Amino acid sequence: MASRRKAQPEKDGRLIETDVLVVGGGPSAAWAALSAAETGVRVVLVDKGYHGTSGATAPSNTGTWCVPPGEGRAASVEQRFKRTAGLADRRWMLRAADQAYENLLKLVEWGYPFPSEEDGSLYIANLRGPDYMRFVRQRVQKAGVTILDHHPILELLGDDNHIGGAAGLVRRSGASFRVSAGAVVLATGGCAFFERILGGTGLTGDGSLFAAEAGASLSGMEFTGKYTLSPHGSSLNKGLPFRWATFYRENGEVLRNAHGDPVTNGIGGGERQVAEALLTGPVYARLDLAEPAMQDWLRRGQPNCFQPYDRMGINPFEQRFRVELKYEGTVRGTGGIRIVSSDCGTGVAGLYVAGDAASRENVTGGISGGGAINASWAIASGWWAGHGAAHHARRRQSRDAARLQPLGTAGLRGSGKRDDVDLAATAQAVHDEIVPLDKSYWRTAAALESSRRTLDDIWSRLGQTGPATGIERLRARELASVTANARWTVAAALLRTESRGVHRRRDFPGEDDAQASRITVSGLGKVTAAREILALETAREG
């Protein structure tokens, strides 16, 4: 028997040169890589996990905002715009729907196995996450893109106010590596704030921290108050079945609204009553409003939604089970890196953003993009960012890797000792300031100010902590990223003294027309929040 060849250890400090670097591994990263490769430039995709299985899409079954060309598209945009709390942009919505549909047709052309309708036509509005991500990984490989799995990026590299690459580590060895690039696309996903949700383990808002360290700003961070019902103790944040639920208190009493009617539809009108009741005690649900045909449809269409019940040995259509609301942060919330151009530029030369790492206010306004809008946004924004990065890289001829300087701060460099901060305990402390219902589902000035002080203190201690070593650098940077995202969220939430979209203030319960503008946040040591006049550039062809 031939002996297995021993793997060679990675060279510490390895330098990789490319034209476009895509950071991330979800659908927006795949589309950015495909888009850039289409122009003929060299592309490297680096993923914290394994490209095709990491992130929120891979374990999901998601719809898309799939609207064929024609009058119906404008009508769909207008209908959706009415639900965006006045902060979306119809031009961006229209071009996103257009680009997403065009790229869904590319999937058809490439042979993606869409199911067929009864009339034989392909049903292209739905994407089964595992199949979808496995398929696009194969397309990325065929396009000649270099994929580096399990190579988390820790910081960006820059020179002369221009982003020229990134640095990271190899998970299996802890070795360092650097990538020199003409442009970088951040497609790192949203921030789940250490909440246990499906596919959210690695979603720590890394891209937002990288961008802020480079001088970019963020927008929409107050719209992180998105929660989804889940079986208690489960990581499953797929709430669709709760549309057919009735809710109960622990003693079996039916939960009722202010009019005395039973609380139903936990992903619609009943959510707030459930959230209110959860502040005073356990809440239970039963999917007893689903007829037998609907029960069968739900089990076939959302099979992973029923795994927790099967493990518990209960029939959720007949038996009550305890529920909780899972915080989803910017994964299904809205906030992220501010976009300043139609090719998803960040305002920092050479730096582009796509997917959940970007603010989705252009297409979702102050509400959640849910699954469908966010899925189409990932497709469209990835395509635009990939093209933008490729064109920028082509224009930037002169590059000198030796001049690249690291931009990372907290979690990487500091003056203190390594044991100054207990990473696990500090991560829990940050989670406890941003996830609880009485801090992010309903907000008040007093609670926000208290969280601000706590988070500022944590950030200060992270900045004074000495340099981490080996794989611990990743844990330290993830903690820094989540802490930074929490501070930006609190700053924006304090400035928006009204309730709008998924931002709910108990002390300001009404919507204020004078505040129908966006809020940008920036800064690390000192966080600044400011109102922005809603005047976006005229959308050009992506």
Task: Concatenate the DSSP letters of all residues of 313-337 into one string.
Answer: T--TTTS-EEEEEEE-TTTSS--EE
Residue 272 annotated in active site:
yes
Q: How far apart are CA 469 and CA 281, in angstroms?
A: 44
* Cα–Cα distance list, 415 to 57, 433, 465 (Å): 39, 26, 6
Q: How far apart are CA 20 and CA 34, in angstroms?
A: 11
* Strand ranges for 54-194 from DSSP E: 61-63, 126-128, 146-148, 153-159, 162-169, 176-180, 183-186
DSSP letter at 285?
A: E
Residue of 128, 272, 299, 394 marked catalytic: 272
Calculated CA dihedral for residues 337, 516, 331, 181, nearest 10 degrees: -10
Compute the half-sphere exposure of residue 19: CA atoms within 13 Å on the CB side of its CA.
25
Looking at this protein, which amino acid is placed at residue 223? F
Q: Which two tokens stand for residue 207?
A: 């891209």
Q: Which two tokens stand for residue 305?
A: 């939604």
Alpha-carbon dihedral sign for residues 299, 130, 357, 88: negative
Task: Concatenate the DSSP letters of all residues of 400-416 into one string.
Answer: -GGG-EE---TTT--SS
The residue with tokens 């005690």 is 281
* Strands 61-63 and 227-231, sheet pairing: unpaired
The residue with tokens 């493990």 is 311
Q: How far apart are CA 528 and CA 516, in angstroms?
A: 19
Q: How far apart are CA 353 and CA 335, in angstroms?
A: 13
246, 289 in Cβ contact below 8 A?
yes
**Which residues belong to the active site?**
272
